Amino acid sequence: MTDIPDRPAIRTLIDVDPAKAQQVAVLRAQAASDPESFWLDQARRIEWATFPTTASNATFDGDVSIRWFEDGVLNASVSCLDRHLSTRGDEAALIWQADDTAVSRTLTFRDLHAEVCRLANALRSLGVKRGDRVAIHLPMVVEGIASMLACARIGAVHVVLFGGFSPEGIAERLIDSGAVTVITCDTSRRGAKRIQHKTSIDAALKQAGTICSVRNIIVVTVTGDTIPMTEGRDHRYDVLVPQQSPACEPEKMRAEDILFLLYTSGSTGKPKAMVHTTGGYMVWAACTTDWALSLKPQDVHWCTADIAWITGHTYVVYGPFATGATTVIYEGMLGWPQPGRWWEIIDRYQVACLYTAPTAIRALIREGDAVPERYSLASLRRLACAGEPISPDAWEWFYNVVGHQRCPVADMWWQTETGGGMLCLIPDAQPMKPGWATTPLPGLNAVLTTEKGETIPDGPAEGALCFTTSWPGQARTIWDDHKRFRETCFTFSPGKYFAGDGARRDENGYYMITGRMDDVINVSGHRIGTAEIEDAVATCHAISEAAAVGINHDLKGQGIVVFVVARSSKTAPSVALLSGIIADRVGRYAAPELIYIVSDIPKTRSGKIVRRVLRKIASGETENLGDLSSLADPAVVPALIKAVTEQN
């Protein structure tokens, strides 16, 4: 680590530009005094076929209904592609860097537009209609981006699925979303390994059986590996798409028509698909890309997120393309085949804005400063990170060693539910504070509440992070489960959106995220519900009970520890078997650090697992377990500590 001199906590590391600060102050004042005209002004950032006459029609009370720009008509792909054709048609829209250093591909806006139109026509030729769901299961390749935009073009709803989901996880999501078509590939590369895409989809469809509505699979050739093809159902992208016309009339969508579903984890085992609609989401993607990243059309932007995450949706695809900037995507892994790979990509493509996750920063720090010091990194102007808390040390490293103390670091707090950044630094307009996600972006009304949901007055405090009013990028509901949406987000403090995170606020109104307040674990930026793990383990007949908790992990942020109770000590399953079950049911990314076989799990008298105690035991903090009087049987605790010590 670089030697970091002591500095006061809040610092003007990079001079605040008074003109920019003034501009932002005016925006905030307009948002506060006349939100309707403020939001309609923001709506001008994107292309509309019919400009909306109203902005917000949202209530967090009663049944909860969120609608924005309702009478507006648009197509998201037009804002991303068509409108740049006359000004930037021959400029690079998308640069794809293959895993192989020698292989890359650059598509101009015109090229990408043509590819998207061909694929859109191909989807139509397979009978995909407006409103149909199309699942996308691809690595970071051009076709992944083209698939999202092609769906948008014809008004189909894209559902991007993470490559790490098990076939079972895929099946569950294909059934829930009612997808009619899947776009996938043969296999993909992950370092020296291969990820099976097509065979996972085949296995998922087999498991899903007749309840699944998938009729067609489009298969992109990524590695050229041999894979089984089913006549009539499976189509080669290379055959189907090139024969299509490169022109495709964009479907005219209403602002509140669905643009995409994206699955995320909550407190219960069932994954939930957040519903994002067209107009508001696009406006919020464009607003936040400007405010937090200050992205300009001539900038080369690299957001390292996978398109299967919300960060990939908003800051790889929709935000940068709506801006007309050049987006870089990289097929490979961090530090593969050599530790300086990321820095080499930044120098090669003259990346101006790097947006990544704290988990990647921690991995890069491990490689040592000598690695980035071998590269110029002089093209960088902006740095951003999101997905989990960044420690002040990691922040300093990012700022000093990567940004050469020249690039503002935007620590952006947001969620799949929020569509775009929420708490974030506006570079050059405000001083930075390492480890703090800064202030709510213009137009947002954040508050902290007590555990009972009562609003805490302004000023330094700690509490639950809530928002009292809607914003355009907010998810409208959970697919097919509005009740769950209402109950998880709007009942904690009635009339407010509850984010699920705790936060601290300082005397300047800056916020720092203290972590999830619900049963969600954040492993390397992946959200995993404890119940997902517990439900998976419970499928093992030899197990009567399971409890998963998150503990601090140097590299991953949080790691998973699972406590399981076997039905009988004679038939206790092996740890390897249980790990295998979790990998099969949830995915390898959810692999626990440790599994302890114990005789009982601490619970309250009403039968609720007391995770606080389990977390402390799993972290080795057995000295101070806090108040155990609420436990149904406090004698469980010493037995548990003994079992854990013996198994360590």
Examine residue 414 and tell whether it contacts ligand WTA (CB under 6 A): yes
Q: How far is the CB of 520 from ligand WTA (least distance, A)?
A: 7
Q: Measure CA 191 to chain center.
A: 22
Q: Measure CA 62 to chain center.
A: 29
Site string for ligand WTA, 371-410 (x = CB under 6 A): ---------------xxxx---------------------
User: Which of 614-620's residues contact partners 24+ apart within 8 Å by CB, and which partners?
Assistant: 614/547, 614/549, 614/561, 614/563, 614/640, 615/549, 615/550, 615/551, 617/641, 617/644, 618/549, 618/551, 618/561, 618/563, 618/594, 618/644, 619/551, 619/552
Which residue stretch of 156-164, 304-312, 345-353, 635-643 sits at the interface with ligand WTA (rule: CB under 6 A)?
304-312
Q: How far is the CB of 316 from ligand WTA (least distance, A)?
A: 12
Examine residue 316 and tell whether it contacts ligand WTA (CB under 6 A): no
Q: How far is the CB of 583 from ligand WTA (least distance, A)?
A: 20
Q: How far is the CB of 417 from ligand WTA (least distance, A)?
A: 7
Which C-beta is closer to ligand WTA: that of 220 or that of 308?
308
Which C-beta is closer to ligand WTA: that of 76 or that of 425?
425
What is the C-alpha separation between 637 and 121, in angstroms, rounded?
A: 62
Using CB under 6 A, pick the residue from 412, 548, 549, 597 that binds ligand WTA: 412
DSSP collapsed to 3 states, 44-88: CCCCCCECCCCCEEEECCCCCEEEECCCCEECHHHHHCHHHHHHH
Examine residue 434 and tell whether it contacts ligand WTA (CB under 6 A): no
Token code pair at residue 7: 């500095």
E-strand ranges in 344-449 read 353-356, 382-386, 409-412, 446-449
Which C-beta is closer to ligand WTA: that of 41 or that of 518?
518
Interface positions, 254-273, toward ligand WTA (CB under 6 A): 264
Cα-trace Rg, the chain: 24
Using CB under 6 A, pick the residue from 276, 476, 527, 585 that binds ligand WTA: 527
Using CB under 6 A, pick the residue from 79, 288, 488, 522 that binds ligand WTA: 522
Alpha helix stretches (DSSP H) within 466-592 = 482-490, 530-538, 575-585
Which C-beta is closer to ligand WTA: that of 96 or that of 302?
302
Using CB under 6 A, pick the residue from 311, 439, 474, 477 that binds ligand WTA: 311
Which C-beta is closer to ligand WTA: that of 382 or that of 527?
527
Using CB under 6 A, pick the residue from 416, 438, 449, 477 that binds ligand WTA: 416
DSSP collapsed to 3 states, 176-206: HHCCCEEEEECEEEECCEEEECHHHHHHHHH
Using CB under 6 A, pick the residue from 108, 415, 469, 524 that binds ligand WTA: 415
CB 439 within 8 A of CB 509: yes
CA separation, residue 94 to residues 4, 242, 317, 324 (Å): 37, 19, 10, 10
Side-chain half-sphere exposure of 600, counting CA atoms within 13 A: 14
Which residue stretch of 87-95, 316-324, 411-419, 540-548 sits at the interface with ligand WTA (rule: CB under 6 A)?
411-419
Which C-beta is closer to ligand WTA: that of 266 or that of 324?
266
Which C-beta is closer to ligand WTA: that of 150 or that of 499?
499
Look up residue 145 and give its DSSP letter. H
CB 124 within 8 A of CB 94: no
Q: Is 155 left (phi over 0), alpha (psi -120 to 50) or beta?
A: left
Nearest to 385 by CA among 406, 411, 403, 351: 411
Q: Which residue, chain included where needed, has tokens 């003034």?
A: 22
Q: How far is the CB of 529 from ligand WTA (least distance, A)?
A: 12
Q: How far is the CB of 593 from ligand WTA (least distance, A)?
A: 19
Interface positions, 485-504, toward ligand WTA (CB under 6 A): 499-501
Using CB under 6 A, pick the residue from 248, 351, 437, 595 that binds ligand WTA: 437
Residues near ligand WTA (CB under 6 A) are 264, 309-311, 386-389, 411-416, 437, 499-501, 513, 516, 522, 527
